[in-house]
A and B are shown apart, each in its own frame.
Chain A
Amino acid sequence: MATDDTPAIELRGISKAFGPVQANKGIDLMVPRGTIHGIIGENGAGKSTLMSILYGFYRPDAGEILIGGRPIVISDSQTAIRAGIGMVFQHFKLVQNFTVLENVILGAEDGRLLRPSLARARGELQRLAREYELQVDPDALIEELSVGHQQRVEILKALYRQADILILDEPTGVLTPAEADHLFRILRGLRDEGKTIILITHKLREIMQITDNVSVMRRGEMVASVKTSETSPAALAELMVGRKVLLRVDKAPATPGAPVLELRGLRMVDAEGVERLRGIDLDIRAGEILGIAGVAGNGQTQLLEILGGYPEAGARLEGEIRLKGQPLPLSGSDGRARRRAGIGHVPEDRQVEGLIMDFSAWENVAFGYQDAPEFNRGPLMDHAAIRADAQGKIERFDVRPPNPDLAAKNFSGGNQQKIVVAREVERNPDLLLIGQPTRGVDIGAIEFIHKRIVALRDAGKAVLLVSVELDEIMALSDRIAVMFDGRIMGERLPKATTSGDLGCLMAGVDPAVVPATEAIPPAQAPGTEPGGGAV
């Protein structure tokens, strides 16, 4: 029998690779019983992989898992459930046209016939509802429930299976602030009953608000495990983002001109009703690079998509976008019109949005501009002209191997990015949108891409740079805006700020107002409308 100070979960040296990608590298983790343990890290840091290993979706390549002090091999989800692990996935695993009750018993039925299971589950649900504020109508269909209630069903499912360890993967991503607060009350109640809770998130506010301990993951490694009371959002932000070799970009001081892009009160509510942008006001002037810093998932992606002319399907938008004084239409999806208006866009995910991986480099170089007169001869495309153009870009951007016939997928990450940057920058746009320009790009290509961005600025163009790499933001930007939770938390000049200062803003704390360690801002700043209502 395990004693009280035996950790609920202990991981020793867990490693997992997917092909060449090392998703988890020698992870050690110790989660004491009856605590809420936060695991924080950026998208792609390996958090979800680690939890999938715990839930039996993947077998680790190496390492050992101990539950309640006993080593265990979790070969499938059934084993994990029997070991007392319950998982609430980011995307719920519910059957939409089943009732709550049916979803709860699915896979945990008492016998071959449903009736006794349903009766017992009904009683059990009532008990759980009383104990933990988990009220849900047991006969409601899932598709009729709000997202917050669906999440409760997921928690109920785990508790019905007598889970002692509850893992929640980004549980608040789809919740309103009020729903998130309710969730946290439930989680505290569960912890006080002796359950162990693992909370995976990239939101520092939540970590500070609810966890007892926190572990930070970065690029597949567990970089720190600390008591929440002994750390600060700024310290965690720095651990998450990491400190790398200092980037140096040689550039002359900016000489900003007239505003090229003006955003006024830009708001966006996605199809699920979550407010992703909560009123963005920004000016970007000719001849300056505005860097947007922030932890991934705070609205940067949505901002780029809207400016690029392809907002998420079903999203509702309001506010004003003006390019060189001319208003741009908000609604509809027309990336081509944006390009014609003078906006170049290097999207965040080059492999999905920037390139067609199976197409050759020369075809990719024409994408987005395939209607340009120089690429066409009457109704037909002028392949010779496109190829010649591609050849030129490949040479000027030193794309290796310099073979325009090679499929995009056969280039390295850095060279793929050079193809996209070449395509967008050489069009000489008035405004360049560039998201995560150097993600997964080797150091040589980083320098090259940075130089081209600066050259564009020196030619009097405006650049909007979005990056989660703080060093890149600091090195490249003439002005920095920090995004948090769909808002601009503050603006700084790179010379007059520090990474700690920016880290606080990225964590949603304005260091000018309160010391970072003492206060966590409310989810909803006073005076703003609740999510989605006013759009």
Chain B
Amino acid sequence: MDFATVIQILDSALRLMVPLLLACLAGLYSERAGVFDIGLEGKMLMAAFCAASVAYATGNAWLGLLAGIAGAVALAVVHGLASITFRGNQLISGVAINFLASGLTVLLGQKIFGLGGRTPSLEGAARFTEITLPFADALRGVPVLGRIYADLISGHSVLVYLALATVPLTWWVLYRTRFGLRLRAVGENPASVDTAGVSVTRLRYAAVLICGLLCGIAGTYLATAISAGFVKEMTAGRGFIALAALIFAKWRPWGALGACLLFGLLEAIANRFPNLDLGFVTVPSMFMNALPYILTVIILAGFVGRAIPPRAGGEPYVKER
């Protein structure tokens, strides 16, 4: 395998990682605040649809992004109402959101565009296109580092850089700000926050809304950057893989980056080598494509160390006497 191939695979891994990373961080905010969210998938899907539709109608990818965020946040509000205000079961609410998004996107897509649930292809300014970082072409000649800069680091859409920046930002928010301290506390022991005179409800809503925001960016990226339009079920289980990555990452931002990078890499390798020839045996493409999902199962089965979820996760907060 030559250097150019390695760069290409890594480049591809980076692109494929972005929606996972955004969804994973989205889940991190929500679950760190004690609200389990298996509706990441549905929120991304809804965002992808909204983003593609509005980007097509306006020809502006940024308006598409706003629409994508609005779509995901709307579902996040539903989840917040169900699981915080009405103290419902968070898993059931998440499942409902996934079904809702899955059905609604196709129904609306068919009704509006008549293309069997797809949106029309996006072109030009309706998509987030690759941006070239300064000096990328000039530095390409420098051995190794120049190539890495020009072909791996440069040449992605702005959403990729946004996603990467979200990792240190999330770390900073969680561990260096008042909001982060309270957020972590409310996922561990909401009574401690409540007795300190801080509203558990408001904190949890804030977390759920941030979750919606990040899912919105993730979905927009899927529909307007990595692809050129919305396709039915285009999230393809990424919301669930993101949850697995979140557990793998033990609910920590830098861990989330590592876990998502691993999943992205597996997907990139599967795309690059549909039939991986190891010399003595050829790994069939089906197996390669299934790798991320197999890894998910292994992680969820708890083979990768003990991951302790936020202690108050999944439980609606009720003041005790």
Contacts and interface: CB of A to CB of B under 8 A. Distances in A.
Given A48-B321, A96-B188, A107 B193 contact: yes
Interface residues of B, number: 23
Given A106-B182, A107-B198, A95 B192 contact: yes
Contacts of B196: 77, 81, 93, 106-108, 157
Interface stretch (B120-128, B173-181, B231-239, B296-304): B173-181
A77 B192 contact: no
Contact of A95 (B175, B185, B319): B185
Nearest to A115: B176
B178 A94 contact: no
A163 B192 CA distance: 17
Interface string B139-173: 00000000000000000000000000000000000
Contact of A113 (B176, B189, B197): B176
B195 A93 contact: yes
B170 to A, nearest CB: 15
A95 B190 CA distance: 9
Interface in A16-65: 48-49, 52, 55, 57
A438 interface: no
A102 interface: yes
Interface string A79-99: 111000001010001111110
Given A93-B192, A106-B196, A112 B185 contact: no
Nearest to A58: B321
Given A52-B321, A81-B197, A113-B176, A106 B188 contact: no
A52 B181 CA distance: 26
A80 B196 CA distance: 10
A52 B191 CA distance: 13
B321 A112 contact: no
Contacts of B195: 55, 77, 87, 89, 93
A304 interface: no
Given A52-B321, A89-B195, A114 B178 contact: yes
A78 B198 CA distance: 7
Given A57-B319, A78-B197, A113-B176, A105 B181 contact: yes
Contacts of B176: 113-115
A112 B188 contact: no
Nearest to A18: B321
B200 to A, nearest CB: 11
Contacts of A52: 321
Contacts of A114: 175-178, 180-181
Interface in A99-138: 102-103, 105-109, 111-115, 117
A529 interface: no
Contacts of A117: 178
A76 interface: yes
B182 A96 contact: no
B181 A106 contact: yes
A107 B177 contact: no
Contact of A96 (B175, B193, B311): B311
Given A98-B188, A106-B196, A112 B178 contact: yes
Given A108-B196, A112-B178, A113-B178, A93 B321 contact: no
Contact of A106 (B175, B177, B193): B193
Contacts of A87: 195
A94 B192 contact: yes
A103 B185 CA distance: 9
Interface centre among B175, B182, B185, B195 (most CB of A within 10 A): B195
A52 B321 CA distance: 7
A102 B181 CA distance: 8
B183 to A, nearest CB: 11
A98 B193 CA distance: 13
Contacts of A96: 188-189, 311
A295 B222 CA distance: 67
Contact of B185 (A49, A106, A113): A106
A49 B177 contact: no
Contacts of B193: 106-107
B194 interface: yes
Contact of B197 (A97, A98, A107): A107
Contacts of A81: 196-197
Nearest to A79: B197
B185 A98 contact: yes
A315 B73 CA distance: 48
A87 B196 CA distance: 10
Nearest to A94: B192
Interface in B125-142: none
Contact of B178 (A49, A76, A78, A109): A109
Contacts of A106: 181-182, 185, 192-193, 196, 198
A78 B194 CA distance: 9
A107 B200 CA distance: 11
Contacts of A78: 197-198
Given A93-B192, A113-B177, A107 B182 contact: yes
Closest 3 pairs (CB-CB, A-B): A107-B196, A78-B197, A93-B192
Interface of B: 175-182, 184-185, 188-189, 191-198, 311, 319, 321
13 contacts: A48-B321, A55-B195, A78-B197, A80-B197, A81-B197, A93-B192, A95-B192, A103-B192, A106-B198, A109-B178, A114-B175, A114-B177, A157-B196
Given A81-B196, A114-B177, 13 more contacts: A57-B321, A87-B195, A93-B189, A98-B184, A98-B188, A102-B185, A106-B181, A107-B197, A109-B181, A113-B176, A114-B176, A114-B178, A114-B180
